[in-house]
C-alpha cells in the first residue's frame, strides 16, 4: 500500500496498536499526526519516525481538544485523509454492582464519545476535500457480553454503531468508514486484563495474543480499494483467510 501524499491522524498513538499504526502508516509513505495525552511518549515516537510525524497532545474526551488537534494536523501537513480512532480504555474491570460510576463513565467518554469527537472534528475537513477514510478499533466485546467488562462492551458496541452510522450518512460524500476487530493483542491492555483474573480472556496464555503490528498493518490495508467490501462493517482478524489476504503470517 502506497500512502505517499496522504495524512493520517492516529489517536491513542502513545503505545500499543496506536504506536505501531503510526509506524506502519509512516512506512507506507503517509504523513502522520500522533495524538495522545502522553506528550513525552508521542514526542519520542515522532522523533523516531522523523519529519513526516507531528506529535499533538490531546484528550479525546474533550471535543474542543480534538477539534484543535485536527486543526494542528492540517496546519502541519496540509490536510487530513485518514483518521484512526484508536484511543481506548478497559478499566475499571468488575461486576456492575461493584464499580465506581464515575470511573465507569470515563470508559464511555474515551471509547464512545472519543470516537464521535474524532468523527465530528474530521468530517468538515474530509468532506470539503471530497472524502477520506475513518477507521475505528472494534472488538468482539461489541457483539457479546463478557463478564466484568460492562463499560468496555457497551462502549465498543456503541462505537461500532457510530461506524455504521457514519457510513450510512456520509458514504455518498466520499467517506469510507470501517471498523477493525483485531482479536486479542499483546499490549498493556491485555496485561491489565490478565491481572484482573476475571473471565476467560484473562486466563489466555500470552502466546494466544497477536502482535500489535498485525492490526497496524491491517489498518493500512483498510485504506485501499480492496477493503471496500467492508465499508460500514467490520474487518475481523480472527478470520485466517483474511489474515492471509492482508499478508499477516
Helices (runs of H) and strands (runs of E) counted in the chain: 10, 7
**pLDDT tens per residue, range 20-45:** 999 999 999 999 999 999 999 999 99
* Cα 242 to Cα 177, 198, 224, distances in angstroms: 18, 30, 14
pLDDT score for 193: 76
pLDDT at 143 over 70: yes
Does residue 63 carry a catalytic annotation? no
41 in Cβ contact with 15 (< 8 Å): yes
Rounded to whole angstroms, the Cα distance separating 165 from 112 reads 13
Catalytic: which of 63, 152, 160, 170? 152
Other beta carbons within 10 angstroms of residue 55's beta carbon come to: 26
Q: What is the mean pLDDT of residues 218-234?
A: 97
66 near 12, Cβ under 8 Å?
no
List the chain domain ranges. Answer: 7-246
* The residue to which cell 460500514 is assigned: 232
**CA 135 to each of CA 39, 49, 172, 210: distance values in angstroms, whole numbers, following the listed order:** 23, 21, 17, 20
State the average pLDDT over residues 232-243.
Answer: 93
Cell (9 digits) for 218:
491491517
pLDDT of res. 206: 59
Q: Is the pLDDT of residue 231 over 90?
A: yes
**pLDDT tens digits, 72-127:** 999 999 999 999 999 999 889 999 999 999 999 999 999 999 999 999 999 999 99
- pTM confidence score: 0.94
Residue 110 · residue 37 · CB < 8 Å: no
Any idea which residue has 468488575 for its cell? 94
Nearest CA to 123 out of 113, 133, 114 is that of 133
The C-alpha atoms of residue 213 and residue 43 are separated, in whole angstroms, by 20
CATH number of the structural domain 7-246: 3.40.50.720
- Give residue 168's pLDDT: 98
CA distance 170 to 116: 14
What percent of the chain is predicted at pLDDT more than 70?
Answer: 97
Q: What is the pLDDT of residue 204?
A: 65
Q: How far apart are CA 178 and CA 64, in angstroms?
A: 24
Q: For the stretch 87-117, what's the b/e string if a residue is b when 16 or more beta carbons lie within 10 angstroms of its beta carbon? A: bbbbbbbbeeeebeeeebebbbbbbbbbbbb
Tens digits of residue pLDDT in 156-211: 999 999 999 999 999 999 999 999 999 776 677 777 777 777 877 777 675 767 78
The pLDDT of residue 200: 74
Interatomic CA distance for residues 210 and 215, integer angstroms: 9
Q: How far apart are alpha carbons 211 and 213 in whole angstroms?
A: 6
How wide is the angle at C-alpha 183 spanned by C-alphas 177 and 188, nearest 5°?
Answer: 105
Query: Cell numbers at residue 172, please?
Result: 455518498
Residue 22, SS3?
helix
Amino acid at each position: 500500500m502506497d500512502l505517499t501524499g496522504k495524512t493520517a491522524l492516529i489517536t491513542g498513538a502513545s503505545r500499543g496498536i496506536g504506536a505501531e499504526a503510526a509506524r506502519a502508516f509512516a512506512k507506507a509513505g503517509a504523513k502522520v499526526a500522533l495524538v495522545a495525552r502522553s506528550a513525552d511518549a508521542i514526542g519520542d515516537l515522532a522523533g523516531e519516525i522523523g519529519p513526516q510525524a507531528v506529535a499533538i497532545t490531546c484528550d479525546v474526551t474533550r471535543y474542543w481538544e480534538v477539534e484543535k488537534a485536527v486543526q494542528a494536523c492540517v496546519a502541519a501537513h496540509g490536510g487530513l485523509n485518514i483518521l484512526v480512532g484508536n484511543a481506548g480504555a478497559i478499566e475499571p474491570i468488575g461486576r456492575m454492582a461493584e464499580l465506581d460510576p464515575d470511573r465507569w463513565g470515563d470508559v464511555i467518554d474515551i471509547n464512545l464519545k472519543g470516537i464521535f469527537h474524532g468523527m465530528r472534528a474530521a468530517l468538515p475537513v474530509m468532506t470539503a476535500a471530497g472524502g477520506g477514510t475513518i477507521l475505528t478499533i472494534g472488538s468482539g466485546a461489541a457483539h457479546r457480553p463478557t463478564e466484568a467488562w460492562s463499560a468496555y462492551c457497551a462502549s465498543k458496541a456503541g462505537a461500532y454503531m457510530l461506524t455504521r452510522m457514519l457510513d450510512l450518512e456520509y458514504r455518498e460524500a466520499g467517506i469510507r468508514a470501517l471498523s477493525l476487530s483485531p482479536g486479542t493483542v499483546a499490549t498493556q491492555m491485555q496485561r491489565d486484563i490478565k491481572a484482573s483474573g476475571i473471565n476467560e480472556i484473562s486466563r489466555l496464555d500470552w502466546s494466544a495474543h497477536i502482535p500489535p503490528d498485525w492490526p497496524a498493518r491491517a489498518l493500512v490495508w483498510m485504506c485501499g480499494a480492496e477493503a471496500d467490501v467492508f465499508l460500514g462493517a467490520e474487518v475481523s482478524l480472527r478470520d485466517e483467510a483474511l489474515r492471509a489476504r492482508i499478508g499477516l503470517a
